[in-house]
Amino acid sequence: MAEQPQPISPVKNFFAGGFGGVCLVFVGHPLDTIKVRLQTQPKPQPGQPPLYSGTFDCFRKTLVGEGVRGLYRGMAAPIVGVTPMFAVCFFGFGLGKRLQQRTPDDVLTYPQLFAAGMLSGVFTTAIMAPGERIKCLLQIQAATGETKYSGSLDCAKQLYREAGIRGVYKGTVLTLMRDVPASGMYFMTYEWLKNILTPEGKSVSELSAPRILFAGGLAGIFNWAVAIPPDVLKSRFQTAPPGKYPNGFRDVLRELIREEGVASLYKGFTAVMIRAFPANAACFLGFEVAMKFLNWVAPGL
């Protein structure tokens, strides 16, 4: 059984979740860029080496060819989206817990926490799907040397002009397939680890910063262990030319397995796992610190 914190206000949730999300993006975006480029690199011609031989080769080529700014390509879209997205994410998790409680004092089981986390994944998809679409297009644009989009806003405008709202939200189903189970694992693991790491006789709210970092980092690892295969499919589908995959993710899955094998579903694994721990450790620490600050400056908010 897990010890549940008291429900927090939506206003505090918004600002604390947004701050945690900004921390996550700033720490994790460089390796997210590497992940997307590895996942979307074209299949090499017979006898030719791949564009990138692995995570560190991609990192080196990006840094040499584009400098540090190259590692932060497309960051504007997730930065703009993180505040509402993480507010909605943490709000969705809290709502999912509350819906399963008969009284506010009920302590939820870990399967119930998993279900509450899945609800947060549903809530965030409306914001996440277009942000991911724009981010992925900008990340691979720099690698190919083309300059179709001058930035995030220009990318969104062109997508809407070419295909309407459907063009902006391309890949929504795959985003759901990635985020719903992964979010369940994310929050359940974080709550489980917080309870394990809390010393006997202490409250979860008194957990030290290093333990919060450890719990948040491992929660990120568990999250991406579930999310990587649908994330590969999503990245391929969202960056493909119009009409390439008429049957959606099924066509992407068939093509990947036929041409590159099952292992292709784990492209970018190293980059994802290197990124997952520090980025999500920063996210949860940022969230917890922001919540304590808000409780101190505005206890009645």
Once rounded to an integer, what is the mean pLDDT over residues 260-288? 88
Query: C-alpha angle 16/17/23, rounded to 5°?
Result: 90
Give 190-197's long-range contacts (Cβ < 8 A, gap of 24+): 190/215, 190/216, 190/219, 190/284, 191/2, 191/110, 191/113, 192/2, 192/110, 192/113, 193/218, 193/219, 195/2, 195/3
Chain segment 30-76, per-residue pLDDT in tens:
888 888 888 788 778 788 888 888 888 988 988 888 888 888 887 87
pLDDT in tens, 144-174: 667 788 888 899 999 999 989 999 999 999 9
Tell me, yes or no, if the pTM score tops 0.85: no
Q: What is the predicted pLDDT for the residue at 188?
A: 96
What mean pLDDT is predicted for residues 15-43?
84
Pick the CATH number of 83-196+204-223 from 1.10.287.1120, 1.10.3470.10, 1.20.1250.20, 1.50.40.10: 1.50.40.10
Is the predicted pLDDT of residue 6 greater than 70, yes or no?
no
E strand or H helix at 89, and its extent? helix 76-99
